[in-house]
Structure 1
Amino acid sequence: MEGKSLSFIFSIFLVGYLTITGFVKAIDNDMTIKVAGDNHFPPYEYVDERGIYKGFNVDIIRAIAIETGVDIEIHPMTWYEALDALEKGEIDAIQGMKYNEKRDAYYDFSEEYLISSQAIFVSNENRYIVDLGDLKDQKVSVQKGDVSTYLLENIEGVELIWTENQEEALQLLAANHVDAFVGNRNTGLYIIQKNRWNDLIKIVGEPINPTKYAVAVKEGNKAVLDIFNKGITAIKADGTYEKIYRKWFGEDVQKPPIFLKRFLYFLLVILSVSLFASVVVFRLNRLLQLEVRKRTMQLKKQDQFKEQILNSIFYGIATINKAGIITSINDPGKRIIDAKGEKLEGKHYKKTPLEGYFKRTHLIKVLRTGRKYIAMEMEKKFGDITKVIEYNIYPLISGNNKIEGAIVSFSDITNIKRLKENLIIKDKMQALGEMAASIAHEIKNPLTSIKAFIELIPDKYDNQEFREQVFKYVPSEIQRLSNLLNNLLDYSKPYKNTKELFDVSRLFDEVLILFSNQFKKYRIKLNPVFEKGLYVYADRQQFKQIIINIMLNAVESMDLGGELTISGKSSGSHVIIAISDTGHGIPPEDLKKIFEPFFTRKKYGTGLGLSIAYQFVKENNGNIEIRSIEGQGTEVILKFPLV
């Protein structure tokens, strides 16, 4: 207690001395430098529960301000906001940035005041990720704008999940929404300890890319850079830097000698027990050898019978244990992967031609959770030829209900796939042919209006009222035609979606901005209710289009003073979103037709909005349900998987 009191008194004295020194130096200096930092990057810089901005970087900048006598304003913000503010000239510097060659093209860096390194964080149960190369085809969370992005951009198949800060990225890992997180080593350790995630998350591999950490300014801003270099040199020389470093990162503490003694004692006990166990095992082994030989002969006969069955089927079948080792593969499987005659058993599947005939992430999830993948497809290139492989992965369960490995069955369905695609194209063309009459009718109405106006122009052009009607109705009819054709193209053309994990409430914020004027114009009362941290794994643009199409129908169905209620909540492994209005409702006879292309009761509608929404929902593994009471309103319920 006495030592802590003396340390506290010394700290007060040091702060007072530096403050007075800085005040004296600032008398003749009226320069103000604006500096930004990450608002959630502990222990370097963060806003605590009381709203105080603190951390190692913050103390360093304040010490530089006192030492140089320059007025420095420190502004906390998200990392990518800080980068944007520096680019726009709204701030003069970022108080802590890791150096690399790509960043050097845009920023100038001060003298380093720390060596910073990155690390790979995975769940404690993870046994297959040990370095950056193992992140191939994995889902990895990373802070938006962080230097870790440069480490991951050349890894094949990696799926990056962007977050605002590193705690949010680690939160996704703790909830098993991602396979790994790559970020600052010290920050990750701080967040794990603060949230008591030590039993959930661990660091693997060596520190990555140890590099200098410094103040960054916009390229060419030598005046500001000189001030920071002068300040860093001064606080290192007078011992201030060392005190700040010890405050935030502490000192290495040597383990006492008693620890080593206890370790050696337990090691001796373990060795003694192991020796005794070895003797017992040796004796038992001799007794069991005869029984094993007898059982081996019986099993050998059974295995020969099973092998004949497996080699007579069309599919390739392989079994893989939890370590990724191929324990068996039938002859048809070797033929499909062009490995006939090779000995694949006992090898890791990544080092055999079997690699690439199924998604690695699917195998990992089967081994970890027991989940099944049925009728999955992927493309495999052989020179200029691309083949389509269909595969199924099932867990291999032992008698005590534990996962011992996985069974992978696979086949080449290239020709079957081509036949299916031809049938789909034929069916779509037939459907479009059947809709031709409806399309012609929809196009005919605006064309008739435009034609009528054009024919009257020679006779009525001098009529002011006529000209106003031309300028009012002709553009709107043209826009109507354009919307019809665009919607038709969206409906008919193929679309390959790109799925990602995103916050539902933030996406709704973007959509609601688009409708703000309509809400005001029609005096619509809005009631949004969302759970915090609600994420959906889907194509973000398609999801936004689904919401826009539904809300357009809701707004158009209500009179002045209507009410629109939007809610979002999680339910098990799904997210449920409900959008309800107090509009006119849908007649019972129309409810069965609302998802059909070109079905509409609107005077100027195309009938494609809900049809396209339905198509996008199904492409993202979701479900849509519409409930409506005529004269009272409509409720649309969407259900999407969390991951």
Structure 2
Amino acid sequence: MAARVLLLDDNLDLAENVKDVLERSPELAGSEGGKVEIVVAHDAQSGLEIARGRPFDVAIVDVRLPDAYGIDLIAPLRAVMAHGEVVLLTGNATVESAISALRAGAAGFVLKSFRPEELVSTVQQALQKVRLLREREKYERRYDALMNATEVLILGLDVDGDVVFFNAKLAALLGATDVDARGKAFAEQWIDGADRKRFIAMFRDAVAGTATKEFEVGMRDGTGAVRRVLWRLSSVTEDDPRVPDHVYGIGVDATERRALERRAANAEAMNAMAPLAMGLAHEIRNPLNAAVLELHLLGRGIDRIEDAKVRGPMRRRVEIVVGEVRRLERLLTEFLELARPRPPQREPVDLDRVVSDVLDLEDGATSSSKVRVTRDLAPRSTVLGDLEKLKQVVLNLVVNAVDAMPQGGDLTARVERIGDEVVLTLTDSGGGIDPRILAEVFDPFFTTKPAGTGLGLAIVRKIVEQHAGSVVLSADQAKGTTTVTVTIPFALDVRPLSKAPPPVI
């Protein structure tokens, strides 16, 4: 492609001479042999208008035009010419004027008493600079596209551990832009405290030129949750191999992989415990039932005591024991549900009605805990599933939310249809769960409650997954809220499931 040159000179003869030299020059011809294109303007205003209307590679400008000085046109011309260069044409060059021109951004200058080869050489150098700048921009675009298209995390640090750049994938994970992060200490800002020393040690090894192995650390994402990331660091040195320039890191988010590994281990453990659980359930339930029966008979006997001072304390003690036995029964039921869950029934269930019924059931608990309940339940939010199991999901979530607000607060329940899914969200104002434990809250036996079993959320996830759905827990510590989002496919066909016909005898 032939180059385009804008010539600004009020001397018509000189302008024609320059144009003739450049058009005849084989050195300036395009790769396909085309002549360089020269466009002439005789004053600054018309020259700027032409430059704004079409692209040029080089502008050759007389230092003295009728309406401006050439040196004052360098900046506005370069502003409208993408990677374009400006060459000044002068009749009397001095060292001072040359320095001023270069400082103003000129690519060079040519005396009006030029020899043709000098003019061609100066313009050729300016064009070469333009081509190199455009080539660099092209490779930078490709580099940025590659950096931002990849699924891995890419990081660049200086030798002090401060951020130089990172790609869009890492920016999304950290909840920070590349520009905002520059200059910040990466380890201090984003590496979890428990792994910070390890990351810094591996970084120092990379700075020293030691090849580092892949290592795993926890990183705080944009929500404050800790994600597990596998990193490999390496240094890139300058001409002096002893002076590292940057340390580059390639990372892979292993959070989901670790979560799947943990769930697989939990499932394996539960499967191994299932026969034991079934046997224990039989052995434990029988004495529990006997204890409940005896407590019932004891209660009836206490009711016959005439002395109220004696009867009242004894009745309260019996109620406490009954409550603890019932709690043990619920724990046993939850454990069995997790260890060997029964397949869910399949029938149309209005999830909005399930939520409403559970909230009505828990009205006493929410009122006594001074929890204000807000309902936003879209009608006919129908899913195909097991009514009792879905009630258990909602009940577990509501109980957790109320327990998180011992001093009272707000609980918002929302059910809505979004596309082909029904979405239930429960948000409480209990201060917000610690984001660092979000990855573990659904694990069996994980709990933050002093008397908790750690089975409630594990059962919730198990039941939701049986319904081909998903459950996600998120926290906003700034607002002091925790939100659980349950998503289940919408039941497109809500006709009752037909029962199998009776066998023909």
Structure 2 length normalisation: TM-score? 0.36
Of structures 1 and 2, the larger Rg is shown by 2
Structure 1 length normalisation: TM-score? 0.28
